[in-house]
Amino acid sequence: VMRWIMPFFVACSTFGAVNGGIFASSRLFFVGARNGHMPKSMALINIKHLTPIPCLILLCLITIGLICSSDVYILINFTSFVESLFITMSVGGLLYLRWKRPDLERPIKVNLILPILFFLICGFL
């Protein structure tokens, strides 16, 4: 009789998480554009609602593109691969800077074994 309650609440939870993620991502794009890391047009903001409209439109287009996939496992593999790729590149950049510029001031400095191990694990994934 109540078989629909759990799937309904899972759908609500998923919708809320995706909604928050999209709004947080649009703010990250906005800040990146303000700092010169993305096109300046992404730094435009709606004065009335204080929302980064160009960033939301870009994320909407990306989301529509991902929805067009008919297989959810393709989406899971794609997002996992992209996330692992960017994490690997970030840790690789950290290791590169520790090697080329060891004199830079760092707020947190950990033993090199941890980033190297993390880099190898991410590279394996």
| pLDDT one-digit tens code per residue, 6-32 | 889 999 998 888 888 878 888 988 999
Please say if the pLDDT value at position 44 is more than 90: yes
Place 1 in a pLDDT band, splitting at 50, 70 and 90. Answer: low
* Per-residue model confidence (pLDDT) at position 59: 85
Its pTM stands at: 0.59
Length of the chain: 125
CB-count burial class (<10 Å; 0-12, 13-18, 19+) for 91: buried
| CA–CA distance, 86 with 88 (Å, rounded to integer) | 5
Q: Alpha carbon of 51 to those of 23, 24, 27, 38, 58: distances in Å?
A: 9, 11, 8, 17, 13
45-94 pLDDT, tens digit per residue, is 999 988 899 998 988 888 888 888 788 888 888 888 888 888 889 889 88
84-121 pLDDT, tens digit per residue, is 888 889 889 888 988 898 888 888 878 889 889 988 88
* Per-residue model confidence (pLDDT) at position 31: 92
DSSP single-letter state for residue 77: H
Place 34 in a pLDDT band, splitting at 50, 70 and 90. Answer: very high
